[in-house]
Amino acid sequence: MKLVEWGEDERRLTDSVSVLVGSDNGKYPSGNTLVVRGESECFVIDPSVDVVARGGAPVKVDAVLNSHAHEDHIPGNKLFTSARVHIHEDDVSGITTLDGLMDIYGLEGAAREGFERVVVDEFNFAPRPDAEGFGDGAIFDLGGVEIEAVHLPGHTRGHSGFRVGTDVFFLSDIDLTGFGPYYGDAWSDLEDFEESLHKVRDEEARYYVTYHHEGVIEGRAAFLSLLDAFHEVIGRRHEAMLEYLAEPRTLEEMARHRFIYRPHVETHFAESVERRSADLHVQRMLARGEAKEVETGRYRRV
């Protein structure tokens, strides 16, 4: 693989860590890829569609780390064929086969077929049957710098952040955007996501890097204020859904009403994401005694 200089779009954070800033500040479908240069090995974390479009990274890549199995975090897995690929053990199946990835989203029928094409054509998907799984707390020693995997599930089962040296923490899709937490896949979980938001608060770093949009956040105070705002979105969605359940409603009605995406957003997965998210909030309401199932598949607030 040839070396590709990124010029101004490579932002140096420390001696060993830099960010390859994706188009439009890493807005989806792109993202902010991390490059870590050690004395013995160099890693890229979550190689984006822009890494593919440019044809490579500024270093010879010995290993790719994927924070989780989602289409936008893995496009470079096909590019760096001679590099090892590591991902949390719970998400391994999402990068070894296309079917495995589709099962993580939980898409079926036409939505599944449509998104399969997008993932292959626009996100460069290629299976990596050689992918190796890691667990929470796994350490990668690159020589002079270490990367530690921190399991932060909820977005997907295996979603992980990475502590790189002492100064950098890669948050991946705890992306601190105004959109809020995404837990709309079959493999997402609201309770796990919220636990991960509590867990990640304890991470001390100089730079916090999100995959999308916010990009590099400097300092703990800025991180905590964005984290709080991000976390509050969950509560706002919950309240809005509870209000809607003043009348008995089905999950399909909740999905059509839209609590996650704005009504004009049309994607292959919007309906499925709305339904899964509504389902998770309704399960929370039932567990808390805030709503009850008044007839089969119909819920009303108490």
Q: Which residues bind Zn ion (CB under 5 A)?
A: 70, 173
Q: How far is the CB of 248 from Zn ion (least distance, A)?
A: 33
Q: How far is the CB of 181 from Zn ion (least distance, A)?
A: 11
Nearer to Zn ion, 16 or 96 (CB): 96
Is the separation of the CB atoms in 130 and 84 below 8 Å? yes
Stated as kind and residue range, the H or E segment containing 150 is strand 146-151
**Cα–Cα distance between 196 and 153 in angstroms, integer?**
6
Nearer to Zn ion, 70 or 128 (CB): 70
Q: How far is the CB of 28 from Zn ion (least distance, A)?
A: 9
98, 103, 92: which is closest to 130 by C-alpha?
92
Longest Cα–Cα distance of the chain, Å, equals 63
Q: Which amino acid is at 65?
A: L
Nearer to Zn ion, 41 or 173 (CB): 173
Adjacency order of strands within the sheet including 139-141: 139-141, 146-151, 160-164, 168-172, 207-210, 216-218
For Zn ion, which residue has the nearest CB? 70
Q: How far is the CB of 158 from Zn ion (least distance, A)?
A: 11
Q: How far is the CB of 57 from Zn ion (least distance, A)?
A: 21
Nearer to Zn ion, 37 or 276 (CB): 276
Nearer to Zn ion, 90 or 173 (CB): 173
